[in-house]
Amino acid sequence: MLNNNSHIVIELLVNNHPGVMSHITGLFSRRAFNLEGILCGSIGDGSKSKMYLLVKNDTFLEQIIKQVRKLHDVLDIEVYENYDESIFRNPERFLNIE
């Protein structure tokens, strides 16, 4: 079961264009953070995407989150310590994919 304090989910609302996911995941990889799960899909008219990142909770994670917030294409960010584990089993429910 993924829902425990050793993992958190970072939910991002981002502009939807090439390179956005690469910039975000690059921040994590350059700091040796493993992304244990990634979900991404366009929403609404397709100009924005919603991303869900599953990462292990770590004392240095707050610094990476601050850096992600500074990215121009990141419109909103939420961090969840308690989350619905079905997000990674039923992504269409969260991303409104038809």
Cα(11)–Cα(40) distance, integer angstroms? 10
pLDDT value of residue 70: 95
* Superfamily for the 7-95 domain: ACT domain (3.30.70.260)
Residue 57, pLDDT score = 87
Alpha carbon of residue 78 to chain centroid? 9
Q: Where are the domains of the chain?
A: 7-95
Distance from C-alpha of 60 to C-alpha of 87, rounded to nearest angstrom: 24
Query: What are the tens digits of pLDDT across the range 41-97?
Result: 899 999 999 999 999 888 888 999 999 999 999 999 999 988 776 777 777 666 655
Q: What is the pTM of this model?
A: 0.83
